[in-house]
Amino acid sequence: MTTLSRRTLLGLGAATAAAITIPGCSGKSGPMRVSWYGPDPVTKALNKALDAWKSSGGAEYTAESAPFNDYWDKLATRTSGGNAPDVLRMSMSYFSDYAGRSALKDLSSSGIDTSGLDKGVADSGLIDGKNYGVGQSSISYAMYVDEAAVKKAGATVPAQGWTWDKFAEFARDYSGAIQGSYGSTDQAGNFQLFEVYARQHGTELFSDDGGKLATSKDTVQEWFQYWAELRKAKAAPAQNVSAETTAIEKSLVAKGKAPLQFGWVQQVTFYQPVVKNPLSVLPVPQGTAGDLKGQFVKGLDLWSISSASKHPEDAAKLIGFLLNDEKAIKAIGILLGVPPSKKARDLVAADAGSAGARAIKYVEDIQALVGPSPKPWPKGYGELLTGFGRIAENIGFGKSDPAKGAQEFVDLAGKTLGQ
């Protein structure tokens, strides 16, 4: 046997040390990490659901949460550093950015039980036949109406839906009847409501491959024009008023200065606590009254697993648990959206008088009437979302006009999509 010199021994030691530390660099497999975005109620609910996971013998985990905007900054840096959380809440706004750059794991054979989920929701994470995320909720766009305020003004809001023209008429009359109030909030910069409007004009917002804007420049211009006229008639607030109403508690509906608010259906539960009267949940205005084909029901928030996850089995089990376990379903309620399965909806809807129950009923009522759900939003959607709002704001402040703004948006889309 050869004797080892001091030098070889040292070298060997160094090599072993390197061998041990290098895998450690790429994220030592501690407990599985779970992360999500959302306001405080969402965090409380998910923590409760995770407690249920632990007490039913689930694997160890650590949890982290952040507000929507901060979440994406953090996730982007962590993912690029090879340090993404194992289970993560993924929004459709960024889904294609992550899935398209292979940051998410294909869940097709992960064994997550999605049999109870609504069809449009179970498939929401499908890109090119691979499933990068499971829908955690069924959501649709909606209008929340303070009907008591509307009644006081001597008006009504039709439950079956109304046209954009009728809506404008209502907004004008309401603003005229109640001093210091606006019949509508300004939705010019609301890209998600615009998607419904675009579909009412006969096209999807994006082409099927996500590489192009499918709606026309004219439709964009018409939209900006519509809201510009409402602002001019003082039926919608001036831009500087809207600029201060971004937080829920500062919204016009919370301050009693507007009788209605637009948003994703589950957000009614965020608004209800700050509004005195019960809010009813109704469809958004239409091209033809009662024709809800512009709207859709879809899973817009997904549970995904990072492609670099060291705990893919546990992660899949946890997602299955959050979707199907009774205790988890009850803990989450409708804070992530209307639950994506009939079983979950029945469990949650018990409290019939609540805003949550009205949201669930809304989704069930319109499900058969809405149009097909659009493909996942394309790469670059996040940039278009903020860009659309910014362009609308420039028009509102008189720095641009609907025609120029529409052109600007079409240019932005051309630059951003399909990259």
d(CA 189, CA 402): 12
Residues 6+ apart with CB under 8 A from 71: 35, 36, 37, 65, 89
CA gyration radius, the chain? 24
Q: Which is nearer to other proteins, 165 or 411 (CB)?
A: 411
- By beta-carbon proximity to other proteins, the closer residue of 62 and 419 is 419
Smallest separation (angstroms) from other proteins to the CB of 76 = 5
Site string for other proteins, 243-282 (x = CB under 8 A): xx-x------------------------------------
Q: How far is the CB of 389 from other proteins (least distance, A)?
A: 8
Angle subtended at Cα 316 by Cα 61 and Cα 29, rounded to the nearest 5 degrees: 45
Q: Which stretch binds other proteins (CB under 8 A): 71-79, 170-178, 228-236, 260-268?
A: 71-79
21 binds other proteins (CB under 8 A): no
Instruction: Kindly indicate which of the ranges 15-23, 67-75, 227-235, 355-363 contains the residues binding other proteins, using the contact rule CB under 8 A.
Output: 67-75
Residues binding other proteins: what is the number (CB under 8 A)?
27
Count the neighbouring beta carbons within 10 Å of the beta carbon of residue 263. Answer: 21
Going by DSSP bridges, is the β-strand pair 134-135/130-131 parallel, antiparallel, or unpaired?
unpaired
x/- map, 312-351, other proteins, by CB under 8 A: ----------------------------------------
Among 59, 63, 66, 76, binds other proteins (CB under 8 A): 76
DSSP 87-108: EEEEEHHHHHHHHTTT-B---T
Residues 45, 335 contacting (CB under 8 angstroms): yes
User: CB atoms < 10 A from the CB of 347, how many?
Assistant: 15
Smallest separation (angstroms) from other proteins to the CB of 335: 22
CA distance 398 to 49: 48
Q: How far is the CB of 362 from other proteins (least distance, A)?
A: 29
Of the pair 105, 345, the CB lying nearest other proteins is at: 105
Taking the least distance from each CB to other proteins, the nearer of 16 and 69 is: 69
Spell out the residues 6+ positions from residue 224 whose beta carbon is closer than 8 angstroms to its own. 188, 391, 392, 395, 402, 405, 406
* Residue 96 engages other proteins in binding (rule: CB under 8 A): no
Say if CB 228 and CB 161 are below 8 A apart: no
335 in Cβ contact with 126 (< 8 Å)? no
Residue of 159, 136, 376, 146 whose CA lies nearest to 266:
136
Helices and strands: H and E segment counts in the chain: 17, 10
Query: Considering beta carbons, is residue 93 or 266 the nearer one to other proteins?
Result: 93
Q: At what angle do helices 381-396 and 191-200 cross, to 10 degrees?
A: 90
- Interaction of residue 163 with other proteins, rule CB under 8 A: no
Binding other proteins (rule: CB under 8 A), the pick from 86, 97, 118, 314 is: 97
Which tokens belong to 214?
A: 């499918």
Q: From the CB of 99, what's the least distance to other proteins, in Å?
A: 10
Give the angle 191-195-196 at the CA atoms, nearest 5°.
125
What Cα–Cα distance (Å) separates residue 267 from each residue in 261, 271, 273, 285? 10, 7, 11, 18
Q: Interface mask (CB under 8 A) for other proteins, residues 371-390, using x and -?
A: ---------x-xx--x---x
| Site track 210-249 with other proteins (rule: CB under 8 A), x = hit | -----------------------------xxx-xx-x---
**Is position 397 an interface residue for other proteins (rule: CB under 8 A)?**
yes
Q: Least distance in Å: CB of 65 to other proteins?
A: 18
CB nearer to other proteins: give 72 or 164.
72
- 26 or 77: whose CB is closer to other proteins? 77
In the list 69, 83, 108, 288, the residue contacting other proteins (rule: CB under 8 A) is: 69
Tokens of 8: 């070889």
As a whole number of angstroms, the distance between CA 381 and CA 362 comes to 27
Closest CB to other proteins among residues 67, 154: 67
Q: Is 74 helix (H, G, I), strand (E, B) or coil?
A: helix
Among 47, 63, 66, 72, binds other proteins (CB under 8 A): 72
The DSSP letter of residue 61 is: E
> Shortest Cβ distance from residue 91 to other proteins (Å)?
13
Contacting residues toward other proteins, per CB under 8 A: 69, 72-73, 76-77, 79-80, 97-98, 101-103, 239-241, 243-244, 246, 380, 382-383, 386, 390, 393-394, 397, 399
